[in-house]
A and B are shown apart, each in its own frame.
Chain A
Amino acid sequence: MQQKDIESAHRKFLKQEARSRSWVLSTQLLLFIAFIGLWELLARTNTINSLIFSYPSKVVTEFWSRLMDGSLLPHVGMTVWETIVGFLLGTLLGTLIAAVIWWSPFLSRVLEPYLVIANSMPKVALGPVFIVSFGPGLFSVIAMGCAISVIITTINIYTSFKEVNPNYVKVVQTLGGSKRQIFSMVILPSTIPTILATLKVNVGLSWVGVIVGEFLVSQQGLGYLIIYGFQVFNFTLVMMSLAIIAVVATLMYQGVAYLERRLTSQFK
């Protein structure tokens, strides 16, 4: 085969790849437009109840007017802030607890059944407890966002601590390393990819916790907007809040995923 033929084969392959990529993208776009269009059409022709389902153009108008009068952004900011604090706290606390039980095999055996129970427990059921202990406000919501991820983080990270190849530990031991050095030089650095992956999962979990927390108690935030819209029967407001959550949660997830790729590139 000539060099020329190889190059042309490669060009052909690239062209095909580009074509299939653009097909996927245009289908995705079409699906979105069809969904929005159908929704608008069905609501306008009164096939579906526009009072309950609202419709896209009304949602956009609502969004625009609330954005312009400055009443929307504080809500978004509040929820984003609570979510970030919630998932960072959840991951940090979970890692810390995992480190403590890694340190003491006795403690890990003692705590095992409690972790299982705490993990099976639906954390949002603890809402009332948080409200009475942290007061009806920001702290309760953050506690909820954190609680929902902390136990599963502990379990996942502790498991990955234990799964570190014992031979790496042996290397440090034969060089005279203490338990503390084993942790800081082997266990922690080799599980950083797992911790970052957990961070990604926890973003999603914290959104659940924060939104539910805001349902229960809050004067501000997207969860509050949803409940408020529901109570005054303004479903345009509800739909708008849902759309914002979809966009912001996706952005946040992608942000953490990007961070994960950047930080773990040296491990692969």
Chain B
Amino acid sequence: MNQTPSTPAKIELGHVTHLYLSATRAFMAVRDINLRVEEGEFICLVGPSGCGKTTLLSIMAGLERPTAGKVLIDGNPVSGTSRQVGYMLQQDYLFNWRSIEDNVFLGLDIQGLRTKENEAYALHLLEEMELIDVRKSSPMQLSGGMRQRVALVRTLACQPDVLLLDEPFSALDYQTKLKLEDLIFTTLRRHKKTAVLVTHDLSESIAMGDRVYVLSRNPGRINSEVHIPAHIRNAIPFDARNQDGFQDLFHHVWKEMEVVSDAAKGH
């Protein structure tokens, strides 16, 4: 981690510390976070609740400015949201007053980029996700899995290089979740996106990520980093779960989680 490569990382966090201030207290959400994500990498952040995972995503997205430390994307400091970075939330949060295709065009509307060409690209993505038939429907007519796929298209339609995923599968039933994992994994691979996934599901993090960071809480810090071997990394998430060594990795990450949970209890 100490060597400094010549090309800047896609995402780089240096000594990031963030405080939440209120009338009654100052709460340290994360302390001294250092991490690098290379172009095209898929990394996962896991940790007990309250370890500042979502805070880190918000900081990377430019929704919040860290109290201290630097955040770089492509070597440039982050100062507010940009179209380079896409964000997916725990739920789809589609707008009921817009049709599916208008939801997908939301980012283009906001950025003033609603050209024929960009619309065509967004519709092409809808087609990839097998949603083109419902483009005129209302979000209320769709199932949870379909809605989250629409939300993915909405994010991808703006053609971000970096995707931040904040537990996007947590509100779905198990079967839908597994299918969507595969879909997002292959879509991001194909479009060569860099991704950061926050999750509390350990097997999901191992199945999807190239690297997994385990965070501890009070305040949130990086406890350890787990590299996923190539044969698991390259398999699609559903198959990855059946690869040799997956169970061992799972136990390894599980142990790490026990350590950080026990440490938090000891406080």
Give A contacts to B, CB under 8 Å: 165, 167-168, 170-177, 181, 185-186, 189-190, 192, 266-267
Contact = CB atoms under 8 A, between A and B. Distances in A.
12 contacts: A165-B93, A168-B93, A171-B89, A172-B110, A174-B81, A174-B85, A174-B87, A181-B110, A185-B106, A185-B109, A190-B95, A192-B97
A176 B97 contact: no
Contacts of B154: 171, 175
Given A170-B63, A266-B138, A175 B106 contact: yes
B89 A176 contact: no
Contacts, number: 55
B83 interface: yes
Contacts of B110: 172, 175-177, 181, 185
SS of A interface (majority): helix
A168 B97 CA distance: 12
B219 interface: no
B111 interface: yes
Given A176-B111, A185-B110, A267 B91 contact: no
Given A167-B91, A267-B96, A173 B81 contact: yes
Given A167-B93, A185-B106, A189-B95, A174 B111 contact: no
A175 B96 contact: no
Given A171-B89, A185-B110, A176 B95 contact: no
B244 to A, nearest CB: 38
A267 B97 CA distance: 6
B19 to A, nearest CB: 20
Contacts of B237: none
Nearest to B92: A171
Interface residues of B, number: 22
Contacts of A181: 110
A175 B158 CA distance: 8
A189 B102 CA distance: 14
B226 to A, nearest CB: 28
A176 B81 contact: yes
Contacts of A174: 61, 63, 81, 85-87
A186 B106 CA distance: 11
B79 interface: no
Contacts of A192: 97
B107 interface: yes
Given A175-B107, A181-B110, A266 B93 contact: no
Nearest to B94: A171
B76 interface: no
Given A170-B63, A172-B110, A175-B158, A186 B95 contact: yes
Interface string B50-80: 0000000000010100000000000000000
Contacts of A170: 63, 87, 89, 93
A177 B82 CA distance: 10
Contacts of A267: 96-97
Contact of A173 (B63, B96, B97): B63
A173 B63 CA distance: 7
Given A168-B95, A190-B97, A176 B83 contact: yes
Contacts of B107: 175-176
Nearest to B107: A175
Contacts of B91: 167
A192 B95 CA distance: 13
Nearest to A181: B110
B204 to A, nearest CB: 21
**Residue with the greatest number of chain A CB neighbours at <10 A, chosen from B85, B89, B110, B154:** B110
A7 to B, nearest CB: 29
Given A167-B93, A174-B81, 13 more contacts: A167-B91, A170-B93, A171-B93, A171-B106, A172-B110, A175-B83, A176-B110, A176-B111, A177-B110, A185-B95, A189-B97, A190-B97, A266-B97
